[in-house]
């Protein structure tokens, strides 16, 4: 008889059950059974959609980092389930990106309880996008403690903290600098990160540390509401640093579909039979009601996790499936460059060609902060795939022609002195934005813009460039200058402002 079977058997005495309760799960399957038996949760353990994880994959990752056994490498990156007993990730960090009602907060509370019960001296902090969000996870935790773990407490549960006899502890943190700074703990669980103050989140990244065999870990948990939000940044950063991303949607947590007719179901177009493989708890009728109440964009973002809401996006028509594709340098076409100057904020240069059908092809990008104009000039020359005299035009920020009060010269003049001829044409932001929109999708539905996948920063900018939120005090029509997405867009605007068909010229050989 397995441990889980024994725990569920009516013939097992109360004493034997308590002994099983105090045995740490050794495998992913044992973890699933332990949570079902002692906490009353059936955690979905199957990924339904391609590239997704099962909720159990996250819980297994959070649990196993501190347990005895070999620590191997982990492929990392989005979609890596890290679900085998032999493979272990190099970092305890994790990003959890899932749908509303997907059980993210409750599973994080389960992970917190397991940390405190089985990992002596483990210090856990809960930081929510609001104090109410933090309290929600803490309420889940205290409810789990009441399922037979009261005897492990060192003292009665307090409103925002609790301590265990083995030296482990949990504390709820408010969303403030003062609360976050000075903390040095093993586990930090950040819930609803999309609602965080960016500066608080930045400070929180320095709070975890590994001691005594316990691995420091920061978990970033949220639904991705916006294409330019903190969760998008977290997912992008995770891909760069090998932090596993656990992503699931409504189909991973929906209840099994039994006895329903697909032809009559409002979810059929999105579901396509996936609910029949469901192993979750979310009621199908509840999902149908949520779909009826919400906009299509909201349902796709909040429940299907297909894409964040584009309500505030400047370029809502931008679709990586349409506008991102490999485009190599073509020596038979004129080559253009577009530059946005910067020092603290990034200096951006784009390499662009336009084919005979008018398709604007962005073939490369250069993005760098805190470097001299001379360093930028050298990098531009090295990346330019043709001789400098063969470049048809280099368009720049008109502000770059302004004279610096200290140096007595301008960035544009410095580039010209180094052999990079720049020109500019003054135009408004809205005019440039409209030109980019027309290139993305013309009135007849055709597209005239394609970006090579190597232009990572420009692609991110096309998705993240946005207007002020509806709650912002600044209700202007101009997009937000956030210092992250606007510079690459500005460089692209300068190209569209300066380029006309008169600029195009054939190569001579």
Domains of the chain, each with CATH number or no CATH = 1-40 (no CATH), 52-248 (3.40.50.300), 251-302 (no CATH), 320-498 (3.30.420.280)
Which pLDDT value is given to residue 69? 60
Task: Provide the phi-psi class of 371: left if phi over 0, else alpha when psi is between -120 and 50, else beta.
Answer: beta
Tell me how far apart the 2 most distant CA atoms of the chain are, in Å: 91
Contacts of 93 (CB under 8 A, 6+ apart): 217, 218, 219, 220, 238, 243
Which pLDDT value is given to residue 13? 65
pTM of the model: 0.72
Q: Which two tokens stand for residue 303?
A: 């429940």
Which pLDDT value is given to residue 18? 86
Element of type H or E holding 94: strand 94-98
Q: Which of 80-89, 160-169, 172-181 has the lowest mean pLDDT?
A: 80-89
Which pLDDT value is given to residue 220? 97
Q: 3-class secondary structure for 324-386?
A: ECCCCCCCCCCEEEEEECCCCCCEEEEEEEECCCCCEEEEEEEEECCCCHHHHHHHHHHHCCC
* DSSP state, residue 125: E
Nearest one of 271, 276, 273, 282 to 256, comparing CA atoms:
276
Residue 72 has pLDDT above 50, yes or no: no
End-to-end CA distance of the chain: 82
Which pLDDT value is given to residue 346? 92
Q: 3-class secondary structure for 187-204?
A: EEEEECHHHCCHHHHHHH
Which pLDDT value is given to residue 59? 97
Q: Is 450 helix (H, G, I), strand (E, B) or coil?
A: strand
**Mean pLDDT, residues 261-285 taken together:** 94
Contacts of 279 (CB under 8 A, 6+ apart): 42, 44, 45, 46, 256
For 364, other C-beta atoms within 10 Å of its C-beta total 19
Using 50, 70 and 90 to split pLDDT, how confident is the model at 88? very low
* DSSP state, residue 466: B
**Mean pLDDT, residues 219-227 taken together:** 89
Element of type H or E holding 497: helix 486-498
Q: Which of 105-114, 267-276, 369-378, 497-506 has the lowest mean pLDDT?
A: 497-506
* DSSP state, residue 271: H
Which pLDDT value is given to residue 475? 47
Residue 9 has pLDDT above 90, yes or no: no
Q: Is 7 helix (H, G, I), strand (E, B) or coil?
A: helix
Residue 84 has pLDDT above 50, yes or no: no
Residue 181 has pLDDT above 80, yes or no: yes
Which pLDDT value is given to residue 188? 97
Residue 237 has pLDDT above 80, yes or no: yes
Which pLDDT value is given to residue 470? 59
**Mean pLDDT, residues 501-505 taken together:** 53
Residue 79 has pLDDT above 60, yes or no: no
Q: What is the mean pLDDT of the chain?
A: 86
- 10 Å CB burial of residue 382 (0-12, 13-18, 19+) is exposed
Phi and psi for 465 in degrees, rounded to 5? -65, 125
Residue 312 has pLDDT above 50, yes or no: yes
Contacts of 408 (CB under 8 A, 6+ apart): none
Sign of CA dihedral 488, 489, 492, 498: negative
Nearest one of 297, 171, 174 to 226, comparing CA atoms:
297
Q: Which position has the higher pLDDT, 426 or 491?
A: 491
Contacts of 429 (CB under 8 A, 6+ apart): 478, 479, 493
Task: Provide the phi-psi class of 213: left if phi over 0, else alpha when psi is between -120 and 50, else beta.
Answer: left
Which pLDDT value is given to residue 471? 52
Interhelix angle for 486-498 vs 429-440, to 10°? 80
Q: Which of 86-95, 128-137, 372-381, 470-479 has the lowest mean pLDDT?
A: 470-479
d(CA 376, CA 391): 17
Q: For 348-399, what is each residue's pLDDT tens digit?
A: 999 999 999 999 999 999 999 999 999 999 999 999 999 999 999 999 988 7
Nearest one of 403, 376, 362 to 499, comparing CA atoms:
362
Residue 296 has pLDDT above 70, yes or no: yes
Residue 293 has pLDDT above 70, yes or no: yes
For 129, other C-beta atoms within 10 Å of its C-beta total 21
Q: Which position has the higher pLDDT, 488 or 508?
A: 488
Length of the chain: 509
Q: What percent of the chain has pLDDT over 90?
A: 62
């Amino acid at each position: 008889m397995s441990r889980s079977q024994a725990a569920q058997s009516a013939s097992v005495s109360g004493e034997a059950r308590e002994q099983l309760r105090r045995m740490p799960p050794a495998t992913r399957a044992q973890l699933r059974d332990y949570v079902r038996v002692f906490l009353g949760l059936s955690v979905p353990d199957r990924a339904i959609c391609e590239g997704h994880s099962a909720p159990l994959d996250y819980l297994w990752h959070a649990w196993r980092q501190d347990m005895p056994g070999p620590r191997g490498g982990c492929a990392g990156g989005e979609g890596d389930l890290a679900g085998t007993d032999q493979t272990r990730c190099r970092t305890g960090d994790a990003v959890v990106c899932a749908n509303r009602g997907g059980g993210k907060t409750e599973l994080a509370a389960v992970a917190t309880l397991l940390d405190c019960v089985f990992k002596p001296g483990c210090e856990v902090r809960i930081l929510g996008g609001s104090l109410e969000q933090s309290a929600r996870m803490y309420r889940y935790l205290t409810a789990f403690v009441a399922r037979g773990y009261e005897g492990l407490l060192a003292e009665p549960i307090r409103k925002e903290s609790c301590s265990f006899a083995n030296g482990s502890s949990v504390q709820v943190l408010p969303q403030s600098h003062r609360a976050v700074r000075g903390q040095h703990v093993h586990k930090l669980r950040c819930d609803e990160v999309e609602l965080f103050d960016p500066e608080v989140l930045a400070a929180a990244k320095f709070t975890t540390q590994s001691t005594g065999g316990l691995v420091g870990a920061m978990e970033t948990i949220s639904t991705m509401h916006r294409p330019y939000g903190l969760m998008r940044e977290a997912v992008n950063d995770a891909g760069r640093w090998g932090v596993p991303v656990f992503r699931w949607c409504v189909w991973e947590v929906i209840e099994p579909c039994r006895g329903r007719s697909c032809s009559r179901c409002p979810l059929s177009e999105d579901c396509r039979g996936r609910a029949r493989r469901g192993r979750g708890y979310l009621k199908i009728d509840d999902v149908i009601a949520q779909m009826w109440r919400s906009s299509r964009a909201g349902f796709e973002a909040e429940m299907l996790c297909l894409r964040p809401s584009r309500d505030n996006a400047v370029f809502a028509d931008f679709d990586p499936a349409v506008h991102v594709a490999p485009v190599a340098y073509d020596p038979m076409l004129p080559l253009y460059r577009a530059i946005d100057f910067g020092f603290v904020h990034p200096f951006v240069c784009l390499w662009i060609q336009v084919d005979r059908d008018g398709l604007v092809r962005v073939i490369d990008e250069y993005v760098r902060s805190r470097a001299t104009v001379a360093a930028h000039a050298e990098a531009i020359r090295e990346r330019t795939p043709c001789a400098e005299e063969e470049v048809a035009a280099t368009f720049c920020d008109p502000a770059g022609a302004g004279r610096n009060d200290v140096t007595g010269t301008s960035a544009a003049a410095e580039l010209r002195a180094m052999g990079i001829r720049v020109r500019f044409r003054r135009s408004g932001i809205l005019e440039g934005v409209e030109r980019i929109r027309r290139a993305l999708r013309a009135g007849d539905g055709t597209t005239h813009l394609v970006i090579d996948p190597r232009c990572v920063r420009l692609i991110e900018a096309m998705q993240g460039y946005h207007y002020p939120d509806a709650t912002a005090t600044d209700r202007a029509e101009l997009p937000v200058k956030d210092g992250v997405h606007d510079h690459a867009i500005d460089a692209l605007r300068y190209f569209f402002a300066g380029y006309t068909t008169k600029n195009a010229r054939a190569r001579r050989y």
